[in-house]
Structure 1
Amino acid sequence: MITLLSHRPTTADFYRVDVSYNLFGEYTVIRAWGRRGKAGRHMIAWFSNLREAAVAADRWHRRACARGYAPSESRYFDAA
């Protein structure tokens, strides 16, 4: 799974993009956003290959950065 986590420096707002493989042989991109401590929102998109999923995740992450979100952690990879 690949996770990109961003936050707004002046507020408690966050934006997270996760790319993962599901049981049906597809790649899932989950976008979640909101304020820490509150119920946030999320959207799910499915892709047939990893390349399309990674391009979409990068595009959504760049859009979030353009709206004032800053990466709060480096991109990290979880082997689980």
Structure 2
Amino acid sequence: MLQALLYRTGKARPLFYRVEISRNLFEEASVTREWGAVGGTPRTITSCHTDLRAASRAADTHRQRALDRGYIRDASHLHLARTTPG
């Protein structure tokens, strides 16, 4: 399973966009896209592809479109990760 997780700020709530490639039960490659507000209910779409190469091209297209819309790879400035006291 491969995935890209992107974030976007500048709105009332930070947004996320996730693209994942995985194998399904029928030996096809699936591309799952999930997006929404961080902490909210996400929207999800899954598409099936006959081979890994086609799935990879589709996932890369979706990832690039999200980057073009202002999503970024690094979410360290969002303070989303839990920190342990110490």
TM-score norm. by structure 2 comes to: 0.80
Residue 61 of structure 1 corresponds to which residue in structure 2?
Answer: 63
**Aligned residue identity for 1:41:** R
Q: CA deviation at 1:22?
A: 1.0
User: Runs ≥4 in structure 1, deviation > 6 angstroms?
Assistant: none
Provide the rounded CA distance (Å) in 2 between the counterparts of 1:65 and 1:57. Answer: 12
Give 5+ residue unaligned stretches, structure 1: 74-80
Give 5+ residue unaligned stretches, structure 2: 76-86
User: Which of residues 25, 32, 48 is equivalent to 2:27?
Assistant: 25
Q: CA deviation at 1:23?
A: 1.4
Provide the rounded CA distance (Å) in 2 between the counterparts of 1:32 and 1:72. Answer: 17
**Aligned residue identity for 2:63:** H
Instruction: Say which structure, 1 or 2, has more relative contact order (CA 8 Å, 6+ apart).
Output: 1
Taking every aligned residue pair, what percent have the same amino acid on both sides?
Answer: 40
Provide the rounded CA distance (Å) in 1 between the counterparts of 2:29 and 2:64. Answer: 20
Aligned residues: 73
Provide the rounded CA distance (Å) in 1 between the counterparts of 2:33 and 2:8. Answer: 16
Aligned CA-pair RMSD: 1.2
Kindly name which structure, 1 or 2, has the bigger radius of gyration based on alpha carbons. 2
Structure with the higher strand share, 1 or 2: 1
